[in-house]
Amino acid sequence: MYGDKRVSVVLPAYNEESHIRTAVEDFLASGVVDEVVVVDNNSRDRTAEEARKTAARLVSEPAQGYGHALRRGLREAEGDLVILAEPDGTFIGRDVLKLLAYSEDFDMVCGTRTTRELIWEQANMGWFLRIGNWAVAKALQFLHDGPSLSDCGCTLRLIRRSALERIQGRLTVGGSHFLPEMVILALRDRLRVIEIPVNYRGRVGESKITGTMKGTLRTGFNMIALILRHRIAA
């Protein structure tokens, strides 16, 4: 609980057997999380078995994709405040406290992983990814009249239930470029959005999006197309 608000954490998981258990325990150890929802996205490893050993609620999402997994988690979560994260060791459980502190003044609190002081040595955030994330975030900021944004791809974020209810039915992206759509829809609805620095560590297990240059570029181009499409449609 945070004050009188119930807190949910959503963890999308595609082949995350090596860290899913630790991740669930780490978020629960923050002391404020009431519910962890693990969305197993057709994992071929022991992700589901490992998740069952924890206090998390496990749901299976058959539609493959990062966006599909997160959207399912957003539908399943029951909290007043819903936090998206990843079970790969890149985020720190106690950082939810930073998101929660800002949730008192904002409808959506997005993390940014491009703050140099919080990028851990092993993190996959070299200069190309850092500048790329920053540049796409700036395009979103200027084209959609947002607050200062410096990362377009940070899963760690919080949304209030009232805001989620406003945008949920209009989320369309099932793939890896899902995140900017959430921000754009919130900004279009004049919801209060803020971005704050969070820790970004090295990953446990294999990266499926930004682990390769091809995956990174594909996701980046899809995000830019999405940002432009929404701008033209506005």
Ligand X SMILES: Nc1nc2c(ncn2[C@@H]2O[C@H](COP(=O)(O)OP(=O)(O)O)[C@@H](O)[C@H]2O)c(=O)[nH]1
* The Cα angle at residue 125 between residues 21 and 228, in degrees rounded to 5: 105
91 lines the binding site for ligand X (CB under 6 A): no
Q: Tokens 């899913």 appear where?
A: 20
210 lines the binding site for ligand X (CB under 6 A): yes
13 lines the binding site for ligand X (CB under 6 A): yes
Q: Which of residues 54-93 bind Mg ion (CB under 5 A)?
A: 86, 88, 90
Whose Cβ is closer to ligand X: residue 80's or residue 95's? 95
**138: closest CA among 151, 155, 126?**
151
> What's the min distance (Å) between Cβ of 32 and ligand X?
21
12 lines the binding site for ligand X (CB under 6 A): yes
* Gap between the Cα atoms of 45 and 47, Å rounded: 6
Q: N- to C-terminal Cα distance for the chain?
A: 37
- What one-character-per-residue DSSP string does 81-121 give? EEEE--SSSSS-GGGHHHHHHHHTT-SEEEEES--GGGB-T
Number of residues lying near Mg ion (CB under 5 A): 3
Select the binding partner of residue 66 from ligand X, Mg ion, none (C-beta < 5 to 8 A, by kind). Answer: ligand X
**140: closest CA among 92, 173, 82, 183?**
183
Which one of 2, 66, 106, 200 is in contact with ligand X (CB under 6 A)?
Answer: 66
Is residue 113 a contact partner of residue 154, using CB atoms and an 8 Å limit? Answer: yes
Whose Cβ is closer to Mg ion: residue 90's or residue 141's? 90
Given the rule CB under 6 A, which of 9-17, 130-138, 165-173, 183-191 is the region that contacts ligand X?
Answer: 9-17
What residue ranges bind ligand X (CB under 6 A)? Answer: 12-14, 16, 41, 64-66, 69, 86-88, 176, 203, 207-211
What residue ranges bind Mg ion (CB under 5 A)? Answer: 86, 88, 90
